[in-house]
């Protein structure tokens, strides 16, 4: 049974959470979470590295101990350390951790204060208003917990798009090996690039005599075959994901792809538009009475209702149909539009590789520039930079710029916004930088008014470039802090500040609807990876996908500019 990088990362993340529940020190917890992030960001499967005889301890941020643990996971699919931690964890705390917004620290706090060790006990406490009375929680979190309990009980939890990707890719590659298969396409929320995915919908076309259904139900990552038919089969993967395979005739392929891509709301709107034109639209095609008039391609489906093709990322019934009717759909940004990454970390703080290594990774991706933005001093757990150490980093970047050709390294910082809205480092050193990605890393529990004013005050500083991961959310782990994003965007527009679309798979922050709101207000976005290793630079595709869901075009994004134009933009506020 193949072990994916995401499987190894999940084990390390689970260890980190369980250690946090048990009150272990933050540096040990962080080591496992950092390892999980490193593994997730690798461009090559760990199993392939082992097969080639590579020493996993040479991977930056792994080391011998973690490399030995990875080897055990790759060989056995499990890790004794995780099993031991699970045995030491009371009741159903492991299950409770699956509730979105409840990381290990929060689970421990609720358990310590209220003794809630089971889902039922947690539900009773939340229903009685006991959780909202705890410091740092509130009624919104309490309601989210109640909703999360029901999702966990019903097995309806959603997984990060990036966590599902490896399984999807492996399945698609496997299905292409079936006899007489023609097309294999993943539809559903995965194709629309939703932040999280509930299940996998796969469509295939085949010639007569194909063995694709037998082939599908023999996939070695399947835990259970729920049903098996000639044109549809359903299985549950060992990851818990349900996967449906539908074999459709070529003449219906476009209609089926449109139908099963969704969203439901988009499809209903298209069907209503068809009815007005005397058409019936379903997964089998577009019909006028009994005659099939379209359906071989998605373009035919849209053309039948007098619309241009609508990209999957836009299909949420959020005015995309009306916009398409007016021929004013945006030309969505693509990854080739990106000229550089403006949020990256190095070994100066909590990154796993040297500045030179990170720059090299940027050059390999064809970038014109990158920015090194290590943490500022307030983030002590990340060994944040004080003025003296930042100036040392500046000198290294200046030296590197003198020695490289055709590539520019910008001097930057990920700068903490302090509770009172001041910035974490003095202007005298900030003026020496090219860019400041400004972030909130603590005091998440301020009121919406306080949090909003905190950020706006920080924006008043001329050296504030962009608000990084603007809502602070960690998808399926930590909800956004209370902040008036629309007011923040208005303030950014007035001051010429930018907002980040962070490509970390569990952040994807800004949310898509806020990306669109930024564009409508004339606020430019920075798409970035927040990379902590060279492999993390691949996260740019997630930032681009999020931007596309937010209707962004290349002109809406700062780092689609040439280096010369970028420098002009960055210096305008100073």
DSSP for 57-80 reads GGSTTTHHHHHHHHHHHHHHSS-H
Closest by Cα among 448, 464, 471 to 546: 471
CB 210 within 8 A of CB 179: yes
pTM of this prediction? 0.87
The 3-state DSSP class for residue 253 equals helix
pLDDT of residue 399: 96
The 10 Å Cβ neighbour count of residue 130 is 17
Q: Tokens for 348, please give them.
A: 């100066």
The neighbouring-strand residues paired with 183 are 205
Closest by Cα among 78, 564, 533 to 349: 533
Distances (CA, A) of 435 to 18, 25, 463, 545: 37, 33, 8, 24
d(CA 436, CA 423): 10
pLDDT of residue 238: 84
Task: Report long-range pairs for 127-136 (Cβ below 8 Å, ≥24 apart).
Answer: 134/109, 134/110, 135/445, 136/109, 136/444, 136/445
Q: Tokens for 430, please give them.
A: 């900030």
Q: Which domains does the chain have, with CATH numbers?
A: 5-153 (1.10.150.110), 159-247 (3.30.460.10), 262-325 (3.30.210.10), 335-571 (3.20.20.140)
Q: What is the DSSP letter of 478?
A: B
The 10 Å Cβ neighbour count of residue 436 is 25
Closest by Cα among 548, 165, 186, 520 to 335: 548
Closest by Cα among 35, 29, 42, 27 to 9: 35
CB 313 within 8 A of CB 332: yes
The 10 Å Cβ neighbour count of residue 198 is 17
The 10 Å Cβ neighbour count of residue 111 is 19
Find tokens 């679309």 and name the residue. Answer: 501
The 10 Å Cβ neighbour count of residue 146 is 15
pLDDT of residue 157: 66
| Residue 321 neighbours by CB under 8 Å, 6+ apart | 266, 269, 270, 273, 307, 310
Closest by Cα among 312, 281, 296, 369 to 549: 312
Cα 291–292–296 angle (5° rounding)?
Answer: 170
The neighbouring-strand residues paired with 438 are 415, 467
Q: What is the DSSP letter of 540?
A: H
Where would I find the H helices in 294-368? Answer: 298-304, 320-325, 355-364
CB 248 within 8 A of CB 204: yes
The sheet with strand 285-288 has its strands ordered as: 280-282, 285-288, 291-294
Go through 53-88 and write b for each residue having 16 or more CB atoms within 10 A of its CB, e for each that does not.
Answer: eeebeebbbbeeebbebbeebbeeeebeebeebeee
d(CA 239, CA 468): 32
pLDDT tens, position by position, 318-369: 999 999 999 999 999 999 999 999 999 999 999 989 999 999 999 999 999 9
Containing 413, the helix (H) or strand (E) segment is: strand 408-416
Whole-angstrom Cα Rg for the chain: 25
Closest by Cα among 383, 381, 370 to 344: 370
Torsion sign across C-alpha atoms 212, 217, 221, 227: positive
Find tokens 């000198």 and name the residue. Answer: 395
d(CA 307, CA 402): 53
CB 152 within 8 A of CB 476: no
Containing 245, the helix (H) or strand (E) segment is: strand 242-247
pLDDT tens, position by position, 67-94: 889 989 888 888 999 989 888 888 788 7
Q: Chain centroid to CA 539: how far?
A: 8
pLDDT of residue 307: 98
d(CA 452, CA 438): 14
How confident is the prediction along the chain (574 residues), in pLDDT tens digits per residue? 678 888 888 899 889 888 888 878 777 888 888 888 888 777 678 888 888 888 888 887 788 888 889 989 888 888 999 989 888 888 788 788 777 667 777 888 898 899 988 888 999 999 999 998 888 888 888 888 888 887 676 555 688 999 899 899 999 999 999 999 999 999 999 999 999 999 999 999 999 999 999 999 999 889 899 999 999 999 998 888 899 999 999 999 999 999 999 999 999 999 999 999 999 999 999 999 999 999 999 999 999 999 999 999 999 999 999 999 999 999 999 999 999 999 999 999 999 899 999 999 999 999 999 999 999 999 998 899 999 999 999 999 999 999 998 899 999 999 999 999 999 999 999 999 999 999 999 999 899 999 999 999 999 999 999 999 999 998 877 778 899 999 999 999 999 999 999 999 999 999 999 999 999 999 999 999 999 989 899 999 999 999 999 999 999 999 999 999 999 999 987 7
pLDDT of residue 20: 84
In 267-343, at which residue ranges do the beta strands (DSSP E only) sit?
280-282, 285-288, 291-294, 340-341
The neighbouring-strand residues paired with 392 are none
């Amino acid at each position: 049974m193949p072990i994916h990088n995401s499987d190894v990362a999940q084990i390390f993340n689970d260890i980190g959470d369980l250690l946090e529940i048990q009150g272990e020190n933050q540096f040990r917890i962080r080591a496992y979470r950092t390892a999980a992030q490193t593994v997730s960001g690798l461009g090559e499967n760990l199993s392939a590295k082992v097969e080639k005889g590579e020493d996993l301890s040479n991977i930056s941020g792994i080391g011998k101990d973690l490399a030995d643990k990875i080897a055990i996971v790759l060989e056995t699919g499990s890790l004794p350390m995780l099993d031991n931690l699970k045995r030491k964890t009371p009741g159903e705390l492991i299950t409770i951790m699956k509730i979105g917004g409840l990381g290990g620290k929060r689970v421990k706090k609720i358990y310590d204060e209220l003794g809630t060790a089971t889902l039922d006990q947690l539900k009773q406490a939340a229903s009685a208003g006991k959780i909202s009375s705890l410091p740092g929680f509130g009624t919104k979190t309490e309601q989210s917990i109640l909703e999360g309990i029901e999702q966990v009980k019903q097995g309806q939890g959603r997984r990060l798009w990036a966590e599902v990707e490896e399984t999807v890719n492996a399945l698609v590659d496997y299905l292409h090996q079936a006899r007489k298969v023609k097309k294999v396409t993943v539809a559903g929320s995965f194709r629309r690039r939703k932040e999280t995915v509930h299940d996998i919908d796969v469509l295939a076309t085949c010639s007569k005599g194909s063995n694709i259904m037998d082939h599908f139900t023999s996939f070695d990552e399947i835990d259970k075959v729920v049903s098996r038919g000639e044109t549809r089969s359903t299985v549950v993967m060992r990851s818990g994901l349900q996967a449906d395979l539908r074999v459709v005739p070529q003449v219906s392929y476009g209609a089926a792809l449109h139908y099963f891509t969704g969203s439901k709301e988009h499809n209903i709107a298209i069907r209503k538009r068809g009815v007005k034109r005397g058409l019936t639209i379903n997964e089998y095609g577009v019909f006028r009475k009994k005659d099939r008039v379209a359906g071989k391609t998605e373009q035919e489906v849209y053309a039948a209702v007098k619309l241009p093709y609508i990209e999957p990322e836009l299909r949420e019934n959020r005015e995309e149909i009306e916009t398409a009717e007016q021929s004013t759909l945006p030309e969505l940004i693509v990854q080739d539009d990106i000229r550089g990454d403006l949020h990256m970390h190095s070994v100066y703080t909590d990154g796993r590789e040297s500045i030179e290594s990170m720059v090299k990774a940027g050059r390999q991706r064809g970038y014109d520039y990158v920015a090194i933005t290590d943490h500022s001093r307030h983030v002590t757990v990340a060994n944040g930079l004080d003025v003296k150490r930042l100036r040392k980093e500046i000198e290294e970047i200046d030296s590197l710029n003198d020695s490289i050709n055709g590539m520019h390294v910008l001097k930057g910082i990920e700068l903490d916004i302090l509770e009172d809205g001041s910035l974490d480092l003095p202007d005298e050193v900030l003026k020496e930088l090219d860019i400041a990605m400004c972030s909130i890393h603590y005091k998440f529990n301020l009121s919406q008014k306080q949090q909003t004013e905190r950020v706006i005050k920080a924006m008043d500083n001329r050296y504030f470039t962009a608000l990084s991961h603007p809502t602070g959310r960690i998808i399926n782990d930590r909800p956004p802090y209370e902040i008036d994003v629309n007011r923040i965007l208005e303030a950014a527009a007035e001051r010429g500040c930018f907002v980040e679309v962070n490509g970390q798979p569990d952040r994807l922050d800004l949310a898509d609807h806020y990306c669109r709101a930024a564009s409508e207000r004339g606020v430019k976005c920075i798409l970035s990876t927040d990379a902590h290793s060279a492999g993390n630079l691949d996260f740019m595709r997630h930032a681009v996908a999020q931007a596309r869901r937010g209707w962004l075009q290349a002109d809406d994004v700062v780092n689609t500019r040439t280096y010369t134009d970028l420098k002009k933009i960055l210096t305008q506020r100073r």
